Chain A
Amino acid sequence: MSKKSINKITSTTVPLQEQNVDTDQIIPARFLKATSREGFGENLFRDWRYNSDGTPKKDFVLNNPTYSGRILVAGMNFGCGSSREHAAWAIKDAGFDVVVSSFFADIFKNNALNNFLLPVTVSEEFLQELFTTIQNDPKATITVDLEAQTISNAPGGKTEKFEINNYKKTCLLNGYDDIDYLLSIRGEIENFERSHA
């Protein structure tokens, strides 16, 4: 997986107006047999996206040419269920850099952050306004600014601040990951082991 930093993203969006989207929908278990991190995008939302004969389901948003972009907007409790990081890999592999929801399941949020896929938590009110904007104008662009911790609903629309801890923000802006940091304090970890044996 190529790592890259994230800063400011302005893009059209793909609206997924479903709540409690679980990781079994994002990537069903039968597609978890690969031993590499690549290629999961192909089966993103597999059973919502394709019929059992492999033909696309026309009414599913990912099959609708009206919608495209690097920002996925979804209902509350996105990414609940299984801890499979394959869910974050699949979304990233399908070309998304940001997922917006009114809240995320914990494990998914960590998995996303560890893959430079930015989970942006907004208020339920802001989320609904966002869905309305996209419905009215599928080509509306949304801006997510990590440095400023803001998300702006289409030009002229509302802007909301979002939370992210400073450590993670620094990692994302600079392309660092947790392992880099943990390796840098391995001496301290060894001391901890000695004093807690």
Chain B
Amino acid sequence: MAKTLFEKIWDRHVVTTIDGGPSVLYIDKHLIHEVTSPQAFKGIENRGLEVFRPRQIVATADHNVPTIHQELPIKEELSRVQVQKLVENCKKHHIELYGLGHPYQGIVHVIGPELGITQPGMTIVCGDSHTSTHGAFGSIAFGIGTSEVEMVMATQCLMQSKPKLMRINVEGPLGKGVVSKDIILYIIAKISASGATGYFVEYAGSAIRNLSMEARMTICNMSIEMGARGGMIAPDETTFAYVKGREFAPKGAEWDKKLAEWKELYSDKDAKFDVEINIDAAEIEPMITYGTNPGMGVSVGGHIPASADPKALNYMGLQAGTAIKGKKVDYVFIGSCTNSRIEDLRQVASFVKGRKKADNVEVWVVPGSKQVEQQAIKEGIDKVFEAAGFNLRQPGCSACLAMNEDKIPAGKYCISTSNRNFEGRQGPNARTLLASPLTAAVAAITGEVADIREFI
């Protein structure tokens, strides 16, 4: 029988299925961080259990860490305790931790791929909704709650009902100045912030095929923003070339064996999807959001729809029917698990080189990991940012969710390469405009929402 990519991986991981109920799904890799794990460790201990497969878990500190002076003790007490708790728990339960100060530390969804931990055909979970990022490699990857983190710690399994399947085909060449972030913002604007709830999404088509791995990660990363359980892309030569040679990638004969398996991971020609959506890549322009969920987006040259939610516009201080281009901004945030990888930083740097930031903006660049940071320094990207007046900080989730001190002040506008523009997401009463790294870069230079196509 013809199978989808999802079904091929799912079927291979089902331990057993309860009659008329969920399946017991085996989990290959479990990523953990400081915020959603402490209660799970406590749960395990309260039950008198040990972590079942500690070698299949990898930990890092990212959500709650400062992005300056990481070498010093964390100032804020609760944050310090939470990060310290992760160190203690990992030590006690024999879990590999890439904590603060470690050369592999970084945002959990950046380090998994860059270390070769993320591989095609795997099931991957993490107590974070952007776990869908790893689906870019052709894996089933999704976010879970802390009770589920505890389940995976205890049994390496989860109880899961099989989701419905959606395929989104994006065909044709991308226009000038249009990057993968624009593709996903366009899709979410088209189908809404709840348009894929209950579905697992496969992204396909020539526009997706032609993307680099990092660009594919940006797309899969935001699957949750339209409600999808996860997103995935069939692995191909681009995927294999990216994985090969990375620290934890298979080597030698094991590589050959895995590669042969991975080459079977695609949706069969006659495989059935519950829903299929076709998009012409030529329709996609550089995108920006104007509202308080990621579905409230328009092209940068467009107008805020007359039908836009008044409550969202009131929060954002914007008017229906007006152009978004030319809107002054106060902050630019380049970072998060969506867009903080080396290609993102290179893209920004190549535009910014020889230019200076506008006086009215503060620009924060937060690399996704220590490895990204080091690579940026090696390539002289840090010098480009310094000359432009940007503030290059240290790795972490930072102003994406404003859990640490990196907050956008109340009422201020921030063009952000992150994934959520919810009320208060970047700080109480902060106003977020989601966009691509290129659109963020041009805003940093002009101090307002601008169309990158007029500058390149």
Contact = CB atoms under 8 A, between A and B. Distances in A.
Chain B, interface size category, equals: 35 or more
A34 B81 CA distance: 9
Contact of A107 (B43, B52, B143): B143
A102 to B, nearest CB: 10
Contacts of B161: 165
B155 A183 contact: yes
Given A47-B423, A81-B420, A83-B144, A36 B197 contact: no
Contacts of A131: none
Contacts of B403: 29-30, 32-33
Interface of A: 20, 22, 24-25, 28-30, 32-37, 47, 52, 76-77, 80-86, 88, 103, 105-107, 110-111, 114-115, 165-168, 177-179, 181-183, 185-186, 188-189, 192-193, 196
- Residue from A20, A168, A196 whose CB has the most chain B CB atoms within 10 Å: A20
Contacts of B163: 106
B155 A179 contact: yes
Interface string B8-46: 000010011010111010100000000110110011000
Interface string B275-286: 000000000000
Interface in B416-440: 420, 422-425, 428-429
Nearest to B43: A179
A33 B79 contact: yes
Contacts of B198: 106
- Residue from B63, B144, B429 whose CB has the most chain A CB atoms within 10 Å: B144
A189 B423 contact: no
B424 A28 contact: yes
A183 B36 contact: no
B39 A36 contact: yes
A85 B150 CA distance: 12
A111 B195 CA distance: 21
B147 A25 contact: no
Closest 5 pairs (CB-CB, A-B): A167-B21, A85-B145, A114-B147, A111-B145, A33-B78
Contacts of A111: 145-148
Contact of B15 (A24, A52, A185): A185
18 contacts: A20-B194, A30-B402, A33-B35, A33-B81, A37-B39, A47-B428, A52-B429, A81-B224, A103-B197, A105-B197, A107-B144, A168-B21, A178-B147, A178-B148, A178-B158, A189-B15, A192-B15, A192-B26
- Residue from A37, A83, A167 whose CB has the most chain B CB atoms within 10 Å: A83
A150 B377 CA distance: 61
B64 interface: yes
B410 A52 contact: yes
A77 B16 contact: no
Contact of B42 (A28, A35, A80): A35
Interface in B371-404: 401-403
B102 interface: no
Nearest to B397: A29
B155 A186 contact: yes
Contacts of A181: 159
A179 B150 contact: yes
A177 B147 contact: yes
Contacts of B143: 83, 107
A104 to B, nearest CB: 8
Contact of B194 (A25, A80, A115): A80
Contacts of B194: 20, 76-77, 80, 103, 105
A25 to B, nearest CB: 6
Contacts of A76: 194
Contacts of B12: 196
Given A77-B193, A167-B159, A110 B424 contact: no
A35 B422 CA distance: 25
A88 B147 CA distance: 11
B221 to A, nearest CB: 13
A178 B293 contact: no
Given A114-B145, A165-B161, A106 B229 contact: yes
Interface string B61-84: 001100000000000001101100
B190 interface: no
B155 A85 contact: no
